[in-house]
Each structure stands twice: as structure tokens, then as C-alpha cells.
Amino acid sequence: MRNIIKNLKDPTTTSVVLLYWLLWLCTTATTATALPKVSCTDHDTTITCDCNNDEQPLVLPQLHGTVYQVKIRNCRDLTVEPNALDNTEGLRKISFQHLDKLVLKKNALSVSRESNKALIVEFELVNFQLIDSHAISGNIEEISFTGGRIEQMHPFGFTTIKDSAILLKLDGVTINHIESQAFKKFAVEKMTIVNCNFIGNLPTRAFYELEVRNELAMLNNQFQELHSHAFSFKLISKLSLNENRFAAVDGEWLEAYIRDAVALRNNQFGATSDIAFRSLGVHRDYQLSERLELRFHNNTVRSVLPPSSSAHGADMAVASPPPQPLRFDERFALSIRQLHYDNEWDCEQLDMSAQPPQPRIEFFRQHSEQLLFRATATATATATDGGGAVAFVPMRQLIVDQCQRTNYTAYIVLGSLLLALLIVLLLLLLWWRLAQRRRRRKLDVVQPEPRTYKETQIVYQIENAGLLKTDL
């Protein structure tokens, strides 16, 4: 040992040691690619590869010949090398069941249109360590993930020949990290994402340039933050987004052009940008004369200030911003029902000069009957049953209850104004009456007493007699 250490200081022995080390590295590398293979049995047109829960890492052998179906199951640690299916013919279905750790290398499941039928790929209770780029590609008709977990998915993890895919299904899958463009540029008839838990934030363009010719249904999923354009679709015929929970949705997180129908129901959106839904649009193939209805029913949102008005997310969490109007494409006929704002209503947002007071913002005015806001802290203490759930109060009621004080002052001001006016009127009336009376009295003084008949006669007589003439 001491010798070796001594010798290490000698440059020639150092290089020899390095060489040995490199050799050792190469041999271990080759053994890594030459991992033991799963034993597969061939029965009729079905090949079954069963790892029997063997603890050691295994690889799937290259499969040959005419085979209709491949079943792979009970593996603790399995790698599918590139082009594992290249030498098969007539393959229709490949299914993976109960795999603890699966790595799909590039082109692991790639089938060309010439040699194979459109392929159905099924994963049931499979934990993927990695889905590499182009791992599942080619002439794919259906792909479904049921249960299990995806640790990491590289860009273009799943690509199909256009016009071939019919179904993409994710059901009960935990998804840790998928990279931008993991699902890129393919068309399916139907896509369903149900009961999934996305643990990591979804980057921009995680689902990118996809077409869903028939229906996209997202139901009961849990998401963290979704960045701008995390979902980007060139076309969706029918979109339904129900009972999902989102920690945060950035501006335009969902970009989609809808051809037939769109409904978002019973979802809970955490920190929500006011332009979160602005990129939902109407597809150019929609040609009916009446506008396409966008149903936005019974959703909860929590408004955050636009990024420009606060430096970073940290501030947003601290500040309790007033509710912001949501923006939608005006080509939709927007149907809003029971929209819950997890923000407190601010009486400052009312135009008190209107009777009854009206919200200043058009969106709130237009949908005032359908809006609910979080009850204030003091109101919550009395309003909730103590369950800790957020209590929501209809906007109409809030305006009466919460903005009441300002209402009272308005009434008081208005009342006293009226009273003052009345008093002024009364005073004016009084003054007018007094003035009238005084004028009449003055007239009494000035007007000479009417002469009596006798007096008049006397005056006449005097005049006629010329007694009054002074030319005497």
C-alpha cells in the first residue's frame, strides 16, 4: 500500500494507474449495457416477460418475429434499450404491469408504420425513472398510464405519427417533473387527465402544439404552479375542466382554440392572474352564427396583483390585493355562475354616487349576481361553523352589510341636505309672506282716504262756482 502511494508520486506509474482505472471503467460500462435479460416466454402470438420481482436490474431483450401482444410485468428495475421492438411484426399491443422502476431509453417503444399495426401501449402501476426523448414514438394509437409515477420526462418523450393516435390517458398518476415540450406536436382524438397529482410546477409548453380532435377532459387533478402557456393546444373540440385544484396559474396558462364546447366547473385556482384565461379562444372552424358559450361555473379564484405592480411573488403573498376582474376572449358568450373570489371585497371599488351603489369595474357590475367574496376576518368568526373553511358571501349582501357605514353617511349627508333645503324653503316662504304683508301696510299709508259723496259734491260746487279760481 505504501509502495503504491509512493509510486503514485512517480509520473509514469500515475499514468499506468490511470489507464487501469479507465479500463475498469470501460468494463463496468459494458457490463452495464450487458445487464441480465428478462426471460420471456412465447405462447401463441403473445410474448410474456415476467421479472418475478427479481431485485437485480434487468433489460428487456430485443423482441423478434410475428407477435400480436407483449406483456411485461413484476419488475423491480427494468430498462428498455433503444429499438427493442424493431424486429417485430404485426405488434398490436404492449402492456407493462407492476414495475417499480422503469427507464425508457430513446426510441425504446418506437414502431414504424410499415411493419406494425397502430400500437396500443398500456402502463399500469408503473413507476418511471425516466422517459427519454422519443421514447414512445411512431405509429401509436392509444397510450394509457394508470396509477404509478413519472419521475422525469424529457422533451418529445411522446411523439406519434400524425393522424394515428386516438387516445392519451393519464389516470391516477403522480408526475414529478416533466420538461418543456414533453408532450409535443401530436394529435389525438381524446385526451383524459384524471385523478393525477402534478408535484412539480408545469413549465411553459409542457403540453405544446397538440390537437385534440374530439375531447379533452381534465378531472380531479392536483397541480402546483402552471406557467404561461403550460398547456398549448392548436385545436380542442370539446374542453371540460372539472374539479381540479391549482396552487397557482400564471397569465395565459391555458392556450386553446375551441371548436365545439368549453366548460370549466368546480375548480379551485390559487394565485390567479387576471389574464389566466385570456388565451382561450374560438377556433376558426367554429362557424355558427350565435357565439360559442364559455361556461365558467362554480370556480374559485384568488386574485394576485399583476407582476408589474409588485417586484416578486414574495410580495404578492404578503399583500392582500383587491379582487381583479378576469379577462376572457370577447368572441365567447361568457356564462359566469357562482364565481368565488378568495379575496376580500373592498368598498372602495364601489361607485357610491349610484343608487344603489354599483361596482366601478364593468366585469363586477355585469356579473354582480354571480359573484361571491371571502368574508372579512371579523365576519368569518361569526359566519363560519368553526370548520376553518373559507366562507364566501354574495356580493349583493356584502355591499349592504359591509359597505353599510358608508351607506349611512351617504344617507345622513343626503338627509341633512334635504333638511337644510326644506328650512331654506320655509324661511323663504316666511320672508315672502312677511314682505307681502309689509308692502300691503305701506300701500295703506300712501293711499288717500276715499272721499265721501258729500265731500265730492262740495268740491264740484266750489269748482263750478269758480270760488277756487285765484284770478280774483
Ligand X SMILES: *[C@@H]1O[C@H](CO)[C@@H](O)[C@H](O)[C@H]1NC(C)=O
Residue 222 interacts with ligand X (CB under 6 A)? Answer: no
Residue whose CB is less far from ligand X, 152 or 242: 242
Given a contact cutoff of 8 angstroms between Cβ atoms, the answer to whether 342 and 320 are in contact is no
Cβ of residue 391: shortest distance to ligand X, in angstroms?
14
Residue whose CB is less far from ligand X, 164 or 266: 266
Residue whose CB is less far from ligand X, 129 or 268: 268
Residue whose CB is less far from ligand X, 298 or 368: 298
The residues with which 111 forms a beta bridge, in sequence order, are 138
Angle at 58 between CA 54 and CA 60, to 5 degrees: 120
Cβ of residue 422: shortest distance to ligand X, in angstroms?
51
Residue whose CB is less far from ligand X, 74 or 268: 268
Cβ of residue 335: shortest distance to ligand X, in angstroms?
15
Residue 300 interacts with ligand X (CB under 6 A)? Answer: yes
The conformation of residue 62, written as its DSSP 8-state character, comes to P
Cβ of residue 196: shortest distance to ligand X, in angstroms?
17
Alpha-carbon gap, residue 292 to 313, rounded angstroms: 35
Cβ of residue 243: shortest distance to ligand X, in angstroms?
6
Length of the chain: 472
Residue 220 interacts with ligand X (CB under 6 A)? Answer: no
Q: Pattern of binders to ligand X over 243-282, x per CB under 6 A?
A: -----------------------x-x--------------
Alpha-carbon gap, residue 77 to 59, rounded angstroms: 8
Q: Pattern of binders to ligand X over 64-103, x per CB under 6 A?
A: ----------------------------------------
Residue whose CB is less far from ligand X, 48 or 266: 266
Counting other chains too, the contacts that 461-464 makes at CB distance below 8 Å and 24 or more residues apart are none
Residue whose CB is less far from ligand X, 180 or 268: 268
Residue 240 interacts with ligand X (CB under 6 A)? Answer: no
Cβ of residue 148: shortest distance to ligand X, in angstroms?
27
Alpha-carbon gap, residue 282 to 259, rounded angstroms: 6
The phi, psi pair for 169, rounded to 5°, reads: -130, 130
Alpha-carbon gap, residue 157 to 9, rounded angstroms: 49
The conformation of residue 287, written as its DSSP 8-state character, comes to -
**Through-space distance between the first and last CA atoms of the chain, rounded to whole angstroms:** 176
Residue 310 interacts with ligand X (CB under 6 A)? Answer: no
Residue 298 interacts with ligand X (CB under 6 A)? Answer: yes
Of 185, 191, 108, the residue nearest 145 (C-alpha)? 191
Query: What 3-state DSSP class applies to 224?
Result: strand
Place of cell 378568495: 342
> Where does residue 154 fall: left (phi above 0), alpha (psi -120 to 50 degrees), or beta otherwise?
beta
Cβ of residue 304: shortest distance to ligand X, in angstroms?
19
Alpha-carbon gap, residue 418 to 201, rounded angstroms: 60
Count of residues touching ligand X (by CB under 6 A)? 4
Cβ of residue 166: shortest distance to ligand X, in angstroms?
31
The residues in 420-459 that bind ligand X, with binding defined as CB under 6 A, are none
Residue whose CB is less far from ligand X, 194 or 235: 194
Residue 221 interacts with ligand X (CB under 6 A)? Answer: no
Cβ of residue 201: shortest distance to ligand X, in angstroms?
22
CA distances from 53 to 49, 56, 58, 90, 471 (A): 12, 9, 11, 29, 160
Residue whose CB is less far from ligand X, 13 or 197: 197
3-state secondary structure 388-436: CCCCEEEHHHHHHHCCHHHHHHHHHHHHHHHHHHHHHHHHHHHHHHHHH
Cβ of residue 43: shortest distance to ligand X, in angstroms?
49
Residue whose CB is less far from ligand X, 86 or 243: 243
The residues in 113-152 that bind ligand X, with binding defined as CB under 6 A, are none
Query: What 3-state DSSP class applies to 443?
Result: helix
Applying CB under 6 A, the residues found at the interface with ligand X are 266, 268, 298, 300
